[in-house]
Structure 1
Amino acid sequence: MSEKLFNEFEPVSSKQWKQQIQYELKGADYNETLVWESPEGIKVKPFYHIDEFKQGPAVAGKAAEFSICQNIYVHDTEKSAGRAISTLKRGAESLRFTIENESTDVKALLSKVPNDTPVYFYLPFLSIDFVKSLDVIAKERNAQFYVQLDPVGQLAKEGNWHTNLEIDIEALNTIAIACSNIHFLSVDGSLYQNAGANIVQQIAYTLAHANEYFNRVATVNKPIVLQVAVGTNYFFEIAKLRAMRTLFNLIAAEYDHNFDCHIIATPTKRNKTLYDYNVNMLRTTTECMSAILGGANSVANLAYDAIYHKDNEFGDRIARNQLLVLKHESYFDKVNNPSDGAYYIEELTQQLAEKALALFKDIEANGGLITQLMEGTIQRKIQESATKEQELFDSGKEVLLGTNKYPNKNDKMSHDLELYPFVKANPRKTLVAPIIEKRLAEKMELERLDQEKVTE
């Protein structure tokens, strides 16, 4: 039956499709009317066809297996331990603890967490003894620990090392030798996205960031964690993660590093809004979908109110339930390599990979990421990209519903702010200019908040 059905129709080439489209345009220019260019310089066509691939699209994706990760900021160990158990019972499959205090009792924190639950530890400090203690606990529990140590990310985000380049890298080398039961290296690529870098820059900077560790840490015998923020450009973001994984493996092979990277993805903060905040749930849903289809190993969703509310049960539950719906009702984890063979995504993946690799090579030819951070080149390039995007938002060409299009003038937020949702001025002496995360809607929201005060 299927053979008769498909033999019934003659194949149609891409040339025939284009001729028909040109005819339907009634004289309008095909390229000017239907082809648009992304901020990354990629020309997006109205259709893609298999005969445009010399050998057919490559099958290089991975299964859409992902864990639902819950972020937990550890302030009170007992309360955080209780919250961990509660979220696991309600659908979380992995945990990420942010620990700022070296005296935190990790054994008490994990006392009721099942040993087979993957656990991430985000540490904004660099302590050899603390990481060694985590390694001991991981061995005792036969547990999977991802300790997110990232001195280069500290330099990029804060403008200073933990101590200095030599001491920080020496600490990583000590940990690499002493700790065999944990994953200890992480690259914070989310910083570049949240600060306004375009997708090619995000991929290239993340890879150059990882390459600094390949060059400076003698023993990297565990997978490196890539922390990635996912934006709202649905298909481009799928292709971003696919291109990033492909290029990471290409670069890692040069160092005989035979481990695939481990990607933990979270929705971007850049397009999240204070007003009409429920729209944030729609944004994070598509961003989580892109992360899953792009091959993220773990997805930590962002609560709809995360930019202005402290962590709360309702926001966490909604964020977690979004992922539960995608996994258990939409079956996003049931299809192997779901984006493979989609001509559009394959073409985007290839072009993003080619452009990112070219930029990566340029960074390495000019001294590497750390050198370019010291010179201010990376910061300047990100700022240029962020400014272009900001101009599109300010002019209304880039739309955030409820903010710069169809705003609800009756929406009041001045009395609902538990957190300050804007860039904070923090004058201090830094070694390099820090890369600053900034949301697109900040200026407009500040104006609306000021107007609220006037009308009260």
Structure 2
Amino acid sequence: MSLFDEFEGTTHQQWYDKIIKDLKGAPGDVGVIDKLIWKSTEGIDVQPFYTSENLKQNKSKDFNLNNNKAVWENRFVVNINTIEEANKKALYALSRGADAIQFVGNINSQNELNLLLKHIEVSIVGIHFYNSNPNKTHEFFSNYLLNNNIKLNNLNYSISFDYIGELLVCGHWKTNEQADLEELAILTKSTLPIKTISVNGLSFNNAGATNVQELAYSFSQAVEYINYLTEKGLKIEEVAKKITFHFGIGSNYFFEIAKIRAAKILWKLILNEYGVIDIPININSTTTFTNFACFDQHNNILRTTTEAMSAIIGGANSISILPFDSAYGTSTEFSERIAINIQHILKEETFLGKVNDISKGAYYIESITDELVEKSLALFKEIEQKGGFLANIKNGLIQDAIQQVAQNEQQLFVDGKKTLLGVNKHQNKNNQEINKIETKGLINNIQIKVLQQVRFSEKIEDTAVSAKI
């Protein structure tokens, strides 16, 4: 006999009636409830309350989301301007408690890689390289491991370049389509136990895409890679194990938790179509750039904290937090330290790292997860029916769809219907930081329509800058 058997349960309808009564509505007055329903940018009607009856079609119960205890990489991103500076910054981040480094930028020689990794204990630190010459980096890294008698353990390592993703944000292939994808095939056939395929959903996020678009487009892009590489003779299991998905994490707290959970379900559904089971998805989450502000920049710390919480609770494998002054194009040692420390607080002081699947059974999150899966899968299938991801970025359909959503979202901020604290609400009129706003550079050699990054506070900041001149 259960401890709660003697207590009568409460049905969905009983909650419904109670809310109507408390809000002074007439019995059965559904209009009272309807006023509390809001529609998300994904087109999901968010209810004022959820019960177990909302989970009758619950999809996550059929899948192991591998969320048993939140253990994640505190990954710090280092842009390579000079080798010496990058090495110094990486060592600083590690000394402050980061447990993984992502180097972004080309490495031109064996000596440069040796200097880049100087004094870094590669055997106990996650190392990730992202650059446009990954095969050379792979060669240098292999030599480094061999020469230093280092064996890779179960930590997360990657050497990658998102060839299709960079086409989308740069407007052109690195070399050409055939040569670029052949490079990827060679890299993926490498013997090192590392991730070699990067699917950068963060680009969609930073361009203003909805969660549904980010998920659908990311998995459609992944399928392009899978199909190409399996045609080149690789086994689907080999390819699936080498993919890392990079997702942006925004400020819609519960939806972002649900997005990571939905990604895990979608990955399993897609792999099942290839006859593959039990290859978990690898997710790196990075806080979004779209809601970063130059005004009252310390508010960005609050934004990134809740965003990181969403990624942790959703079950991301690694998390990168943007320093709060990233909107200026550069960051300070102080802002970088704060970015690292946020994850320490979340892991060690909130005990998020000690709790099993903290969101499981939350009716709201589970329900939103299901809706994101359903809508993302529908959009994914639509893309595939129209020829796949590459075809849809070559004709500009994906870029246009994201741009339309971003423009609508931008207008909501300009009109004050959506709030960015310190920007369009409670703005500091004496803000001295506005002069630091930098203009965007031009993109050359365009072969397809470019996916433009957006920052929703920028128009309001530009207006303030003009007023000060």
TM-score (norm: length of structure 2)? 0.90
Picking from 127, 142, 146, the partner of 2:151 is: 142
1:214 aligned to which of 206, 226, 234: 226
What residue is the counterpart of 2:208 in the other structure? 196
Distance of 1:75 and 1:305 partners within structure 2 = 18
Over 3 Å counting, the alpha-carbon distance change for 1:246 and 1:388 in structure 2 is same
Q: CA deviation at 1:451?
A: 1.9
Structure 1 residues 151, 267: CA separation in 2 closer, same or farther (over 3 Å shift)? same
Alignment of 1:296-307 (within 5 A): 296-307=316-327
Matched residue, 2:197: 185
The aligned runs of 1:34-45 (5 Å cut-off) are 34-45=36-47
1:12 maps to: 10
Contiguous gaps of at least 5 residues in structure 2: none
The offset of 1:199, in angstroms, is 0.9
Q: Distance in 2 between matches of 1:226 and 1:2?
A: 43
Mapping for residues 49-448 of structure 1, pairs under 5 Å = 49-54=51-56, 58=61, 60-61=64-65, 62-63=67-68, 64-103=70-109, 105-114=112-121, 115-123=123-131, 125-138=132-145, 140-143=149-152, 144-218=156-230, 219=234, 220-221=238-239, 222-256=241-275, 259-308=279-328, 310-415=330-435, 417=436, 420=438, 422=439, 424-448=440-464
Deviation at 1:127, TM superposition (A): 4.8
State how far apart, in whole Å, the 2-side matches of 1:107 and 1:69 are: 21
Measured in 2, the distance between the counterparts of 1:294 and 1:138 equals: 34
The normalised TM-score by structure 1 is 0.93
Distance in 2 between residues matched to 1:148 and 1:298, nearest whole Å: 16
Q: Which amino acid aligns with 1:100?
A: N
- TM-superposed CA distance for 1:53, in Å, is 2.7
Determine the C-alpha separation between the residues in 2 that align with 1:43 and 1:297: 30
The Cα of 1:54 is off from its aligned counterpart by: 2.9
Change (3 A) 1:381 1:316: same
Deviations 1:198-227 (A, max 9, x none): 111110001001111001113244331111
CA offset digits 1:376-435 (Å, max 9, x no partner):
1001100111111111111111100111111010112244x2x72x5x241523110110
Cα distance in 1 for partners of 2:343, 2:364 equals 25
Shift of 1:261: 2.0
Partner Cα distance (2:279, 2:421) in 1: 42
Check conservation: 2:55, 2:366, Cα contact below 8 A.
no
Q: CA deviation at 1:259?
A: 2.8
Structure 1 residue 55: deviation in Å? 7.3
Amino acid of the residue matched to residue 421 of structure 2? L
Q: Secondary structure at the match of 2:420?
A: coil
- Structure 1 CA distance, aligned partners of 2:267 and 2:126? 23
RMSD: 2.0
Larger mean CA deviation between 128-137 and 35-44 belongs to: 128-137
What is the CA–CA distance in structure 1 between the aligned matches of 2:140 and 2:272, rounded to whole Å?
31
Say which is worse superposed, 400-409 or 259-268, in terms of deviation: 259-268
Verify the 8 A CA contact 2:194 2:242 in the aligned structure 1.
no
C-alpha spacing 1:242/1:136, structure 2 compared with 1 (3 Å): farther
Provide, for residues 163-205 of structure 1, a one-character-per-residue CA deviation record: whole Å limited to 9, x for no partner. 1111111111112224433211111100101101111111000
Structure 1 Cα separation of the partners of residues 186 and 242 of structure 2: 17
- What amino acid is the match of 2:45? K
Q: Which amino acid aligns with 2:173?
A: W
Q: Secondary structure at the match of 2:393?
A: helix
Give, in whole Å, the separation in 1 of the partners of 2:115 and 2:84. Answer: 7
Mapped contact 1:195–1:436 kept (Cα < 8 A): yes
CA distance 1:358–1:414, change in 2 (3 Å):
closer
Distance 1:392 1:82 in 2: 42
- Supply the AA of the counterpart residue of 1:121: F
